[in-house]
Structures are given as structure tokens and as C-alpha cells.
Structure 1
Amino acid sequence: MKKRKKSERFLYSISPFERNSRLCEGVKALSTSVERYLMLLNTIGNQTEIGVQIETTTEEISKLLFCTARNAKMIIKRLTEEKWIEWHSGRGRGNVSRIVFLVEKEPFLIEKARETADKGEYKQAFEMLRTFGAGAATVDRFMLWLNDHFGYQSEGASGSETLDTLRFPVYYRIWTLDPSKVYYAFDAHMIKQLYDRLVEYDASTGMLKPGLAHFWESNEDGSEWTFYLRKGIRFHHGRELQAEDVRYTIERMRGAKPSSWLVRSVREVVCLGDRCVRIMLERPNTIFPRFASSAGMSILPRDLLQEDDEQFWKKPIGTGPFRIVGLSGDSCEMVANTEYYQGRAHLDRVVIAFMPEETAVMSENATWKQLLYIQKPADPSESSSWHKMESLCRGSMLLTWNSRKQGPQSSIDFRRAFGLFLNRKKMIRELGEDRVYPARGFRPTEQTPYLNEDLDEEEARRLLRKSGYNGEELLLCTYGAHESDARWIEKRCAEFGVNAKVLIETHGSVRKRDIFPEVDCILFCLVFAVEDVCEIENYEQTGNLLKEMLRPDVHEWVTQQINHALACQDPGKRRELLDGIENRLRDEAHVTFILHKKMNTYVHPAVKGVGFNSLGWIDFKDIWLENRTMIYSAQSL
């Protein structure tokens, strides 16, 4: 038996400050036997080998677990029954008891973290590892297990049935599944799995195809559009889609919502029977069906929203190829809509794990970007049997300048100097990863790989002097995965005497109203899912990081040009007007285009139907597994 001083019973292998902060966080949810065992092991048993008796008291246990002495006795009994500890009660008043820890921490942590992740509670699994001080080797083992946990697998269900499941991680959560509030590409992608739109846009051909509407037509100038709905389309709760659902969806989009710009010219929506809707506009819009194909105009069931709007968003319902069966802060689980009007998905289930952002760099052994595997390759990038999918993102990384605020960025000479000294090719070389080409506009073209960037350091220095810049602070705001790009730009600015300071926000906070007046520029990425429509969105959408930075007179001119473009019957003339907006923003340096990115993943040859959609994500509906004999089930490491 090892005797210890009372003060030694509270020692950790981490600093006292970190220990206290972790415990305060951890004990708030200290409700399971697992956590209680780990808490005691980390405190009383931290400096002692497994199997050695340690002196303690029931009172000490109760203080450590923040409970009463009576509850402490119950916890001790439960841990003894689990065979995790032995407890030898002290006889007589004032005599100490003895505890023996029987299970080593690291294997125990790994086992329980896996069990937690298997239940879809991924953040809790990582929190358990963090709170109870898992070592680097333990984290690596857990990450390797996750590599096999994620991917495309066939899993047993009730009876002899198997479910084809795609399980994969993302490093940010779903911000909204409300089409009227969507900003981000991932949210738009998820919305397109759950709901449908009147028409669908095929990015590969640039053409529209029928969706909920099997036919549509307009009057001569495009100010009135009529959509004819298919028969027999049902929402996930069983009710058939009706024209009133379309009218209700459009009407609820009005007001100060991110997607309200899509219906800004809608004067009236009239239902001509159960399966016919007429939309009358204030002014001509010859591409209104493209607006109707946007994720923001996904059709919702009016009855459920009118009944309980708040409850609806906990498990939203649409007509799409998948329906949600579980949604939490840890994961989103969807199953195939077996009655989907465009054909049932080949997948039975999709599970998306929302991982803590820091886990992306926690282990060199993590290969989570290679999502679609049924066997874990030793090195997929070098395996000739694996198919590498690569595509340019339909959009760009850019920086918008706050023309509404006084500061160095209010000078056109300063903004032009910034673009000339940035050195995008050097940025791409040094940061690597998915960054591939310097950007000269919103979207890449066939000429993008061959174009030289505007780089003139001498001219940049001359323009900086001309602008009168004198070392004032330049506040550069960004969020999410763009921090490394912002930090690189910050260092590059310092080489030219520009005092840039990076402000890191989150996906949720970057659009708060108090951010826009304070920052000098914002760094972010755009994705163009629907040609023309997503471009117009940048100028029209409330809270858009480009629109909110434009000077009012510039924005007024942009709006006029958009109205002219929407009235054009000639696609070439419409493209000319929209390009004219982009050209002015570039020429006057209201926007600094930075770079284009690529998308890539490795796909096992047995996995078929994989393709990137216009939002840069893999379409779930068409994925299927060719050879079931090759299916891999994750094994314990």
C-alpha cells in the first residue's frame, strides 16, 4: 500500500490552472460512471500504479465529485460493481478507507471514446479525451479508429437487412436548414438533400430541368411566370404537395432575410388550382426560373410550419431524396426517402459528424479527407487502383474593402497597391493544400491556369506613397478555415510597411451588424452554384460580405445594372452587363480577387456514382457500391 500526503492526492500531470479549468468544465456534465471513474483516477490515482491501495475517505470522494457523502457511497458501490475499483472501508471513526484502481486510464479512455463516437456523440468523445488528459499516443489511436469509422460501409440492421451507410466528418456545424436564411455552401447542399425546388439547375450543361414543376411558361417580357406541379409528390410526413405550399414558401421569404432578395420583385403569387402557381413580378426577370432553382427557394410544407414553426426546425421536413431522423450538435443522420419522385437514393443512410475544428490537425495519421473508402488504403494518393477526383471550385477567394468607413482602404491608390504587392503565386506555393491559381475574377475560366497575376512591387510602393498611407492599422476580418490565408496576408503586408491586424470571427458572428462598420476588409470564399443567380446574390443578399462593404452610390449603380440584365432576353447581353459590374469592382479595387481552389477526394473503385455538384459537395443520392464482397467493417485497433 502506498501512503500519500493529503496535498499529493490532487496532483495532475498538467498545470494547476489548466487542471482547475478542465475540471470545472468536466464536472458540469459529470453524470456517468465513466466520467466519475476518470475523475477519481486523474486526482486520487494520478501518481499511483494500477492495483495499489491508496488512502482516502468518503468525504474526499464527495468533494472531488461535487456530491453529498450519501451519493459518494452510491458511486463507490457502482464503480465496484463495474470492477473498475476495489473499496476497503475504514473501520471506526476517523479511520481512512482504501481505494484500488483496477483499469488503466489510456485503454479505458480509448474504449469509452469509441463507444461515445459510435452513438454519434463525436464532440463528447473528443471532450472526454481533452478533459481527462489523454496522451498524444492515445489521441493518435483514436484518430486511426475514426479513419475506419468514417467512409462508405454496409452495416447490419434488424434481421438480415443491411444498410448502405456513408459516414463522414465536417469541421463546422450546420448553421441553418431554413432556406430563407441560408448563407453557406454546406448549408445549401444539405438543404438540397431535404427539400426540392420548382426547377433544378444542371451546372454541367447550364440548363434548367423539371423539378417539382414539370412545365413552366412566361408572358412575353418575363414579368409573369406560371409553374405546373407534378402529381403525387409527397412531403416526408405523407401529405401531397400543393400549390399553396409554393405560395406560402414565397410569402414567408419576404422581409429582412438572407434569401429575400430572390423574391424582391414578386408582386403577387396566385394559386390556379392545387397544382398550378402563377408568380407576378414588379419588373421583368427573364431568368426567374433560375432564381426558383436556388436552394433559398426550396419548397416547405405550410401545414407543419403554421402549426409549430419552432418545433419544425428541430427535424425539418421536405420532399427531398433524404429525410432527417436525427439532428444534434454532434451529428446529422438522414435516411433515404423511399418514395422520392425522382427515384430512391442508392444509399440507405448518411451520417454527418460535426467535429471540433481543432481535430483537423490533431494527428498526422488522420486521413479523413479521403472519405469514400470501404478499405483503408496505406497511401491512397499512391494507389493506382483508387480514383482521384479533382475539380476547380466554381468561385474564388476574395477580399472586399469597406468603402463606407474612413481609413487607408478608402483610397483607391491604397487598394490598388495592395493588389499589386500581394504575390498570389507565392501565397499558393507557401500555403499549398487546395490553393491552385491566382484569381482575376469571381469564377475560373479555361484561361485561368495560364494567366499571370498583376504583380508590380515598385508600382505598389509608389501607389502607397501616393495614397498618403502612414502606418495606420488595417483591420482584416475573416472566419473559419481562412485564418491561415489571413495570417499570410498579414505578414506580406508587413513587408511593405502596411500595419495589418487580423480579426478572427466565426461563421455565426462575422455577419453581426456591429462587425461591418468596424472592419476595413473581409477575406472569404464564394461558390457559384447557379450561373448568374449566385453572382447577383453577392450584390443583393442582406448580410452578404460583398454587398455590405459597397458604398451606397456604387450599390445603387449595381442594382440598376442588375435590373437591366434581368430584363434582357439575349443571354449574351445579360452576360455583358453582369461582367461590366465585375469589371468596375475590379478596376476601382472595391474587390481584390485572390485565388481559386480545387476540390479533390480519393474514391475506391467499387464506389460508383460519385461526383461533385455545383456547391462543391458530393451528391449523396447517386452513390452506390458495386461489389458487396469487398465491404469493409471497421475493426478495433
Structure 2
Amino acid sequence: MRLEEHYLELYRGLRLRLTDRQAEVTLPELSQLLHCSERNVKLLLRRMRERLWIEWRAGLGRGHRSRLTFAVDPESMLAAETERLLAEGRFQEVMALTERGAFTDEGAARMDVLLREAFGYRLQPGSGTSAEGVLRFPAYRIPAALDPAYTTRRTELHLLRQLFDTLLVYDELSGRFRPGLAHEAERNEAGDRWVFYLQKHVRFHHGKPFTSRDAAFTLRRLTDPDAGSPYASLFAVVSGIECLDEHRLLVRLHAPAPYLGSLLASPAASIVPAELPADFASLPVGTGPFRLKRPNARGLILEAFADYYLRPAHVDRVEMWRWQPIRSNDGAVRLEGDNEVGELNFRHYREREEAALGPRWREVERIDRGCKYVCLNLGKPGPLNDPAMRACIFRALRDPAFVRQLGGNRGDFADTFIGYEEANGQAPYSDTGKVTDAGTSTSTSTGTGTELTGRMQTEWIVGARQAEPAEQIEPATTVVRPDRPLRIVTYPGAGHERDAEWLEGRLVEFGIAAEVEQVEYERLLDEETLARADLFLLEQPVGEDAEWTLLTILANPGGPVRRCLPVSTEREVGERVTYALRHANRERRLRDLRAIETKLIEERFVVPWYRWRQTASFPQELEGVTINALGWADYRNVWFRAGLKDEAMSSAERITP
């Protein structure tokens, strides 16, 4: 630790006892404050006196108190130390300083400015004569584990796409699957045996070559119920996996699965090495465009993988740092912000209340394809079995004033889990009653499958009695108030804290008492949590493939929606999902799955709430910035234009691939 850090630590420990920057102390006290021996304390004090940082008047005799006077402004020293560490690229140490806080409001504001200038895209000296492109941004949390078989949260799902590859890739623009680590695939006539031809000359980040053994291990782990993957039930259709040779993989199915592409292109099926390192969850190894440097509680660093089998990334390094509001010595937060959004320079979400961007800044925007939603727990007896109560909760959530009251980047109400209108301007299903493949008609008047879809609108197991339309229910007079508060269970982050607090207050306006409980994300669906919860406040991330998302919501008995349904309804959903997935035509599958989703929403078993307004704001020199389906920027395409400064280049003069 440098002498400046000892000085700041000394001031921080004594500041509450200071009078005119003076304090009476003993050597044992200073030894405890600085975590060193009394001998070392004397050496440190002597060095500080030599630099005229302190005045020291020693007490006479052992145990007598001495007088220590601070002569240098600690805020100036803190700022200078921050600037030095930033100049040396020691960002982790900078973040450690910010965690300890500033001493005054002015100091907090000064450190805020320094950090704002440090975040963003930077060109810095690299090896040889080349400059190194570094993208550095803040986040409210750093993911603890990135194992594809167990990952379900938005940030982690996004990072999987940077670290791993899948056998197939779903192309959101064309609506088709394209080759990934498998460059070709073929199936038998029955559709229950598939052979995948794998890419050659592909290596994992630790240098080992990718072979069919790795693909087989990945899929076997997902199909093994004892492995505990939340996706195991979705991959249960796989009956066997065989390596025909190093670059051919045979997959056997219990029955034809036309949706197999969605399984193999999902983040869960990201290919991992057959020999998993012991620290794989915290330091995963994939074949993707970036590899992970060892993360810690303060930050996470991705480095471009030079041996990536496709085009390597333009950016050399991506740094995500855990950002906490800087506090002054009175403990008040001086940096305004919210754990809901990323901030500063290159921002994934820019608050809509912020001032207009400067003339050299640009912005891209997208409405979240996923949503915030409330899942009503009808898996246990209670007041939510009353349809009038469910309708009341729906009305409480649909308050038009909630965006104004909560602020931030909250957007419009969501009516479905998936924002289909954001998928290239059209829904990935047909409303015309017809599909294009094989000229098959899906008119509701004919066909076994369409009869099922038609029945969805009138026949459904809902429990004790049929729900009335929510709009016709006056909650103040028709709802029987529960004899205990409803428990709203959620987890920290993603704006849940403020959302849950708002919902609690809103329900009180309807005469319904409620209380909020926060649990760790990993414990959301524990049996103990399910037994306590009445309402789950959750977020549904949605990737490029709508079918995969609907599978995770509706086809997974272990997911929150299925776990919270009445037993009879849960069984009914399972049967209808099984039938829907038999359709060879993707549009028919999606339409039937959406019919199930619609019915659950109509019965207020789940209530989609709102979608985030996602933006990325950045200097105009930064190119290739787009927001993906998960609401993050795809780092591989980001690059910095350092072209002619005195004259603009026309698009015709630029060389584009």
C-alpha cells in the first residue's frame, strides 16, 4: 500500500474525532487503524512528517495520548490518487477507492467526474505500434457464475453469447436457423435421428480443439436430470448421443422434435469442453469471440479471442465494473442513479430524464422484447384462487401513472411475455389462418390441431369458478379482503426494489394489505419460498428466438409459471404444450403456444406488466453499436473510427466489406 493510501485510511478512521483537523491518539489505536505493528506506524508517521502531510506531537510516557494534525486536504489527495491510478490503468484499485467513499459532497462530485471520463470506449497503447480498443462500462452487479446449463438471468445470458458458441444459430432477421459449430445437419425420414457435421479448426479458449466429444458432453449434461439443470425437462426428448467420429455427432430422439433447432441454438446448449475445469462456473471456457479473465467482486474483463474461428472482435477488451454510488462522509448518496440502468459515457440504458445528448453523441433505442411481470401463486390455497382478487391485482398493476411515479426507463405496458412487434416489425406467427410451408391450411374449421387451438378460447380448467372480465369488477366492493397481507416475493436488482415498493402501496389503495420479501435469485423457487409467496415479481428475458422463450415459460414444469399454477391447470398446460410441439410447422407451434400464453394471461394467472426502454448512447466515433434482443450491445461489432479529422469522408470513400 502506498503512503497516500495510508494517509487516506488514517484520515478516514479519525475524521469523526477531528477538531480543526486535529485528534488525540495513541500508537496502539493507530496500529489498529492501519492494520500494522506500532513499529511500522512510527515509520509511516515519520515519512508523512517528512512530506509535511502531518504534524505530530508525541505524548510523554507509555500510554499517553499524542496529538496528530492533518496538514493536507484529503479530498485533493484522493483525487490525485484516483488520477494516478487511472493513468496507470489500475482500474480495479480505483473502484476500491470509490467503495470507501469521499469525505465531502464536493469530493464525491469530483470523483464522479473522474470516473465519468474513465468509462466509455478508449484507444490506449497496445503491443507494438497498434492501439488497443477498450470498452469500459459500469454495472450494478457482477455475475457470479456463467455456466450455460444453469444460467437464466438477462446479463448472464448476454455474456454467454460473448463467451460461447452453439451448434446452430437463430437468425432474428431472416427467422431461420443457420450454421454455428455445426456446418451441416441431416435427419432420417422419421425425424428421430439427426447427424451434425461439426466445424473443424475450432479451439476453446484454453487451446484444446473442439470435437464431437465436447458437443456430446454438453448435451448429455443437459439431458441428465441428476445434473440439476433448469432446462433438463426441455432436453428430455433426446434419447441418445453418439460420436461417430471427431466431427460427426449423432443425436437420437424419443420422438420427432421439430423444435430441435430452438433447443440447439439456445444459450443453454452453448458448447462447453468435455473436461470441465474445476473452476468452470467462475472462469468458464468456451469457443466464443471473447474469453474471460478471472473475475472478482469488483469487475469482469473480457478479452478478444484472437483464434476465434469466425471473424474476431474489433474491440480488444471489454471491462464491466461494479458501480456503487459515491458517498460523502455524512453517508448520503451524492451520485444520482439507480440499480436499474447502466450509466456513464457508453451507456446501455440512458435515463429519459437526462439532458439532450451533445452534438458529438449518438443514440440507438429499442423496446425490450422481454418484460417485467407478476406471477400469482395459485399452487397453494389462498385468496388468489378468487378470480375477483386476481382481477383486482391486474387493475392495480395497470395504473397509467406508474411510469411517471417510478421514472427511469420504464416503458409501455406489456400484454404478452414477448414483444413480438419488436421482431423486425412483425410477429413471428401468422394471423391469417394460413401458413406458407407445404400449402397447409390452418383454418379453424378443419384439422385436428386447429380444433385444439379453437377450444383454447372456451375450454379451460380455472379452478372453483369462471373469472369475470377484470374491467367489470369494482375492487373496493366485490373483493373479499384477505385476512393477512399478501406477500410479494422478488429479488434484488433490475429495479425490483422500487417496483415492489410501488406495488405494495398500490394494493393498499385497493384495500389489500401487502408486504415485500427479497430473496436471493437462486432461492426464488425453493419450496420454502413457494410456500410463503403470494405474488412473484419477476423479469422475463427474451432472446432472438421466440420459440425458445415460450418453451422455457410454458414447457418447463420447473419454471415459475408452471410451478405457480393450480394442479389441474398445470397438467392441462403440459398436455397442450406437448400437442403444440408436434406440429412440423414453426408458425403453427408458435400460434398454439401463444394461445396457451394468452389464456393464462386472460385468467390472470400471470400479469405481464411493462417493458424497459433500452438505449445506448455513445460518441459518434464509436461504430457498430446495436442493441440485441437481450438489451445489450454486441461487443464483437463495436469499433472506433479514428479517421480524418479536418475533412469528412463520404460513404463512397470508405472501404466496407
* Partner SS for 2:400: helix
Q: 268, 283, 294: which one pairs with 2:255?
A: 283
Q: Is the contact between residue 325 and residue 336 of structure 2 (CA under 8 Å) also seen in structure 1?
A: no
Equivalent-residue separation in structure 1 for 2:486 and 2:108 (angstroms): 39
2:481 paired residue number: 469
1:434 paired residue number: 409
1:381 paired residue number: 356
Q: Is the contact between residue 182 and residue 259 of structure 1 (CA under 8 Å) also seen in structure 2?
A: no
1:399 aligns with 2:374: yes
Equivalent-residue separation in structure 2 for 1:470 and 1:357 (angstroms): 39
Equivalent-residue separation in structure 2 for 1:575 and 1:96 (angstroms): 78
Q: 611, 615, 624: which one pairs with 2:630?
A: 615
* Partner SS for 2:272: coil
Q: Which runs of 5+ in 2 are unaligned?
A: 426-467, 646-657
Letter in 2 for 1:329: A
Q: Is the contact between residue 138 and residue 344 of structure 2 (CA under 8 Å) also seen in structure 1?
A: no
Q: 1:384: Cα distance to partner?
A: 5.0
* Partner SS for 1:263: coil
Deviations 1:485-528 (A, max 9, x none): 22222222111111122223343443444212111011122122
Q: Is the contact between residue 387 and residue 604 of structure 1 (CA under 8 Å) also seen in structure 2?
A: yes
- Distance verdict in 2 for CA 1:361–1:64, change over 3 Å: closer
2:615 paired residue number: 600
Q: Please, what TM-score do these two structures have when normalized by structure 1?
A: 0.83
Name the stretch that deviates more: 243-252 or 359-368. Answer: 359-368
2:141 paired residue number: 172
- Distance verdict in 2 for CA 1:612–1:461, change over 3 Å: same
Q: 556, 580, 584: which one pairs with 1:569?
A: 584
Q: 1:565: Cα distance to partner?
A: 2.1
Q: 1:174: Cα distance to partner?
A: 0.7
Letter in 1 for 2:564: M
- Distance verdict in 2 for CA 1:284–1:467, change over 3 Å: farther
Q: Is the contact between residue 142 and residue 300 of structure 2 (CA under 8 Å) also seen in structure 1?
A: no
Letter in 2 for 1:588: E
Share of identical aligned residues, percent? 28
Q: 296, 305, 309: which one pairs with 1:341?
A: 309
Q: 1:427: Cα distance to partner?
A: 1.5
Q: 1:106: Cα distance to partner?
A: 1.7
1:537 aligns with 2:552: yes
Pairing of 1:69-468 with structure 2 (within 5 A): 69-77=38-46, 79-80=48-49, 84-87=53-56, 89=58, 97-113=66-82, 118-121=90-93, 123-129=95-101, 134-253=103-222, 254-255=224-225, 256-303=228-275, 305=276, 309-356=277-324, 362-364=334-336, 369=343, 371-372=345-346, 381-446=356-421, 459-461=472-474, 465-468=477-480
* Partner SS for 2:514: strand
Q: Is the contact between residue 171 and residue 178 of structure 2 (CA under 8 Å) also seen in structure 1?
A: yes
Q: Which runs of 5+ in 1 are unaligned?
A: 1-30, 450-454, 631-637
Q: 1:75: Cα distance to partner?
A: 4.1
Letter in 2 for 1:197: T
Q: 1:103: Cα distance to partner?
A: 2.2
RMSD over aligned CA atoms reads 3.2
Equivalent-residue separation in structure 2 for 1:180 and 1:512 (angstroms): 19
Q: Is the contact between residue 477 and residue 505 of structure 1 (CA under 8 Å) also seen in structure 2?
A: yes
Q: 1:576: Cα distance to partner?
A: 2.5
* Partner SS for 2:571: helix
Q: Is the contact between residue 424 and residue 438 of structure 1 (CA under 8 Å) also seen in structure 2?
A: no
Equivalent-residue separation in structure 1 for 2:216 and 2:240 (angstroms): 9
1:478 aligns with 2:506: no
- Distance verdict in 2 for CA 1:324–1:421, change over 3 Å: closer
1:633 paired residue number: none
Q: Is the contact between residue 371 and residue 612 of structure 2 (CA under 8 Å) also seen in structure 1?
A: yes
Equivalent-residue separation in structure 2 for 1:365 and 1:526 (angstroms): 23
Pairing of 1:8-23 with structure 2 (within 5 A): none
Q: Is the contact between residue 238 and residue 253 of structure 2 (CA under 8 Å) also seen in structure 1?
A: yes
Equivalent-residue separation in structure 1 for 2:326 and 2:596 (angstroms): 39
Letter in 2 for 1:225: W
Q: 1:435: Cα distance to partner?
A: 2.1
Q: 38, 42, 55: which one pairs with 2:8?
A: 38
* Partner SS for 2:174: coil
Deviations 1:150-195 (A, max 9, x none): 1111012344332101001111221321001101011011111111
1:547 paired residue number: 562
Pairing of 1:40-79 with structure 2 (within 5 A): 40-42=10-12, 44=14, 46-49=17-20, 56-62=25-31, 64-65=33-34, 68-77=37-46, 79=48
Equivalent-residue separation in structure 1 for 2:214 and 2:140 (angstroms): 34
Name the stretch that deviates more: 38-47 or 283-292. Answer: 38-47
- Distance verdict in 2 for CA 1:119–1:436, change over 3 Å: closer
- Distance verdict in 2 for CA 1:558–1:79, change over 3 Å: farther
Letter in 1 for 2:519: E
Letter in 1 for 2:379: R
* Partner SS for 2:42: helix
Q: Is the contact between residue 421 and residue 457 of structure 1 (CA under 8 Å) also seen in structure 2?
A: no
Equivalent-residue separation in structure 2 for 1:356 and 1:486 (angstroms): 21
Equivalent-residue separation in structure 1 for 2:55 and 2:67 (angstroms): 8
- Distance verdict in 2 for CA 1:141–1:261, change over 3 Å: farther
Q: Please, what TM-score do these two structures have when normalized by structure 2?
A: 0.81
* Partner SS for 1:190: helix
Q: 524, 536, 540: which one pairs with 1:526?
A: 540
* Partner SS for 1:428: helix
Name the stretch that deviates more: 88-97 or 494-503. Answer: 88-97
Equivalent-residue separation in structure 2 for 1:99 and 1:340 (angstroms): 59
Q: 1:113: Cα distance to partner?
A: 4.8
Equivalent-residue separation in structure 1 for 2:624 and 2:67 (angstroms): 61
Name the stretch that deviates more: 497-506 or 352-361. Answer: 352-361
- Distance verdict in 2 for CA 1:262–1:79, change over 3 Å: farther
- Distance verdict in 2 for CA 1:507–1:251, change over 3 Å: same
* Partner SS for 2:560: coil
Q: Is the contact between residue 289 and residue 636 of structure 2 (CA under 8 Å) also seen in structure 1?
A: yes
Letter in 2 for 1:119: F
- Distance verdict in 2 for CA 1:569–1:515, change over 3 Å: same
* Partner SS for 1:442: coil
Letter in 1 for 2:528: D
Letter in 1 for 2:607: T
Letter in 2 for 1:41: Y
Equivalent-residue separation in structure 2 for 1:104 and 1:561 (angstroms): 70
* Partner SS for 2:45: helix
Equivalent-residue separation in structure 1 for 2:525 and 2:381 (angstroms): 20
Equivalent-residue separation in structure 2 for 1:621 and 1:262 (angstroms): 30
- Distance verdict in 2 for CA 1:224–1:122, change over 3 Å: farther
Letter in 2 for 1:236: H
- Distance verdict in 2 for CA 1:465–1:47, change over 3 Å: same
Letter in 1 for 2:385: S
Q: Is the contact between residue 420 and residue 460 of structure 1 (CA under 8 Å) also seen in structure 2?
A: no
Q: Is the contact between residue 364 and residue 615 of structure 2 (CA under 8 Å) also seen in structure 1?
A: yes
Equivalent-residue separation in structure 2 for 1:99 and 1:617 (angstroms): 51
